[in-house]
Structure 1
Amino acid sequence: MADARRIEVLVPMRWGDMDAYGHINNVQIVRMLEEARIAAFGPPRGAGLPGIEPQVSLFNDVPEGTMALVVDHKIRYVRTLEYRNIPAPVQVWIGAVKGASFDIHYLVQDPVTREDCVRASSHLAFVDEATGRVLRLTPEQKQRIAPFTV
């Protein structure tokens, strides 16, 4: 049963993402996580031209001079993700929300069998570009991500 607090996005697997065994290379998994995060929560402010609107406008709607930075990644490879010429479903949701940081969780599945292949999380923080100091999450930011917090 689908959890309404999770956002599902489809992330393409590229031919060049394969390793010698026909699996998606572990480095490319990190790229897929990033693509899922951007599709779900928007690109960083000022990154390129507008495109498809994210499901939740979070990263592209921060004040000027604010950076959304990844602090940490944790990745668990449950089973190999075989290359397929169709996008992989990636579920994305918010985990722990703290005063100045939060976790984004991911579940990457095989697009044919829907078996779980990768479970991962990214710890993120907003940082003031001029000072390098971590910024506290605003009440508005917490409110935007609340419906997707598990």
Structure 2
Amino acid sequence: MAHLDITVPMRWGDLDAYGHVNNVAMLSLLEEARIRAFWDAPPEQVALGAEVAPTALPTFSGENAPHTVVASHRVEYARELGFRRDGVLVRVWISRLGGASMSIDYVVLTHDDPDATAPYATARTVIVLVDAVTGRPTRLDGDVRDALAAYVDPPLRFRD
């Protein structure tokens, strides 16, 4: 499988009054995993100690890079997720690579369940690439498509 396992730290503020991760906080955890997986830190931040993810792709960074816009999210919760000092393990992959968009799938786990026998949530985010100046969708070029193809795997199946 071409997935990436990304550790995302949790914050105490991610919990709601019932003691589990709030639905909005879950989207933040997914966003953090997506950023850590596919976007590299700018060189000036790396020089100051920013983490360099070995899987980060330089294709979405730099002066002429397209912007990425979230078109949709789908999250299905399987069970409550409480606070974890060891963070969560978010399994991330690209489930569809379109002309100007891609679908990113996630499985939210913990480090004591790396085999995903009891995930907390599954999710999908659809991302559209847009020209930074015009705001119009822009197609993935061949180099970007080739770099992303290494992380393509079959899509999740959601409940109807």
Scaled by the length of structure 1, the TM-score of the pair is: 0.87
1:25 lines up with 2:22 in the alignment: yes
- Retained in 2: the 8 A contact 1:9–1:89? yes
Aligned position for 2:150: 147
Aligned position for 1:105: 105
The structure where strand makes up a greater share of residues is 1
- Which of 30, 37, 43 matches 2:34? 37
Residues 1-150 of structure 1: matches in 2 within 5 Å?
Answer: 3=1, 5-42=2-39, 49-50=45-46, 51-54=50-53, 55-58=55-58, 60-61=60-61, 64=64, 66-113=66-113, 115-150=118-153
1:8-67 per-position Cα deviation (integer Å, ceiling 9, x unaligned): 011111111111111111111011001100111015x86x83322231315543652621
> Structure 1 stretch 124-133 or stretch 107-116: which is displaced more?
107-116
CA distance, structure 2, for counterparts of residue 62 and residue 126 of structure 1: 14
Unaligned runs of 5+ in 1: none
Task: State the one-letter code of the partner of 2:132.
Answer: E
CA distance, structure 1, for counterparts of residue 58 and residue 34 of structure 2: 10
Scaled by the length of structure 2, the TM-score of the pair is: 0.82
CA distance, structure 1, for counterparts of residue 94 and residue 112 of structure 2: 26
Aligned residues: 146
Q: Aligned-pair RMSD on alpha carbons?
A: 2.2
1:98-136 per-position Cα deviation (integer Å, ceiling 9, x unaligned): 111111111101344552011011101111122111000
Query: Alignment partner of 2:16: what SS?
Result: coil
Task: State the one-letter code of the partner of 1:135.
Answer: T
- Retained in 1: the 8 A contact 2:59–2:65? no
- Retained in 1: the 8 A contact 2:8–2:33? yes
CA distance, structure 2, for counterparts of residue 102 and residue 63 of structure 1: 22
Shift of 1:81: 1.0
Identity of aligned residues (%): 33
